[in-house]
Structure 1
Amino acid sequence: MMCEIPSNALLAEQFLEYFDGFSIGSNELTQLALGLDRDSGVVSELFDERNDAVKALLSMAIRAAKKQGKYVGICGQGPSDHEDFAAWLMEEGIDSLSLNPDTVVQTWLSLAELRNKINPRRRLVAGVM
Structure 2
Amino acid sequence: LIRQTVEGGRRNHRHVGICGQAPSDYPEMAEYLVELGIDSISVTPDTLLEVTRKVLTVEQRLGRPPRDAAVEADTQGA
Q: Name the TM-score, length of structure 1 as normaliser.
A: 0.50
Task: Name whichever structure is richer in helix by fraction.
Answer: 2
**Alpha-carbon distance in 2 for matches of 1:123, 1:73:** 17
Note the residue ranges of structure 1 that are not aligned, 5 or more in a row: 1-56
Identical-pair percentage: 32
Say if 1:112 and 1:126, in contact at 8 Å, map to a contact too: no
Cα RMSD after superposing both structures? 2.1
Q: Moved runs in structure 1, 4+ residues, more than 6 A?
A: none
Please, what TM-score do these two structures have when normalized by structure 2? 0.80
Gaps of at least 5 residues in structure 2 are 73-78
Residue 124 of structure 1: how far off its partner (Å): 5.7
Counterparts in 2 of 1:82 and 1:88: CA distance versus 1, 3 Å: same
* Larger RCO (alpha carbons 8 Å, 6+ apart): 2
Match of 1:127, SS state, is helix
The structure whose Rg is larger is 1
What SS does the aligned partner of 1:97 have?
strand
1:64 aligns with 8
